[in-house]
Amino acid sequence: KQEVTQIPAALSVPEGENLVLNCSFTDSAIYNLQWFRQDPGKGLTSLLLIQSSQREQTSGRLNASLDKSSGRSTLYIAASQPGDSATYLCAVRSGTASKLTFGTGTRLQVTL
C-alpha cells in the first residue's frame, strides 16, 4: 500500500527566503507525482506535475524534483512571498488507474 509523508508538517519563514518542502513515498512504482496548493477551506490548485521519467519541473518561482528510486520529491520555492502562505500537498499516482495517494501536507506561513 502506497504511503506518502510530508516533512515538515508546518513551516514559518520570513518573506524573501528560499525554502524546500519534502515528500517521500514508500512504493517507487509510480506513474507521476503532483504538487498542489490548498488555501484554507478551498479546493486544490495544481502546481506542478512530474512524470515518472522526469527528474524535475519548473514553473516560475517553483521547482519540483523527483528521485523515484529513493521515493523522494522536493518542492523548492524561491523568494517566498506572503501570498505563498497555504498548505502544500504532494500526491503520487500509482497502482490501478488514476488513484492518487496524498501526503499529509505542509502548512506554510510566509511572514512580512
Partner 1 sequence: GAVVSQHPSRVICKSGTSVKIECRSLDFQATTMFWYRQFPKQSLMLMATSNEGSKATYEQGVEKDKFLINHASLTLSTLTVTSAHPEDSSFYICSVPRSFSYNEQFFGPGTRLTVL
Nearest to 62 by CA among 39, 38, 81, 43: 81
For partner 1, which is the closer residue by CB, 13 or 100? 100
By CB under 8 A, residue 100 contacts partner 1? yes
42 near partner 1, rule: CB under 8 A: yes
68 forms part of the interface with partner 1 (CB under 8 A): no
Q: Does 40 bind partner 1 (CB under 8 A)?
A: no
- Using a CB cutoff of 8 Å and minimum separation of 24, what contacts does 98-101 make? 100/34, 101/2, 101/3, 101/4, 101/25
23 binds partner 1 per the rule CB under 8 A: no
Residues making up the chain, counted from first to last: 112
Residue pair 105/23 in contact by the 8 Å Cβ criterion: no
Q: Is 53 in the site for partner 1 (CB under 8 A)?
A: no
**Residue 59 CB, nearest approach to partner 1 (Å):** 12
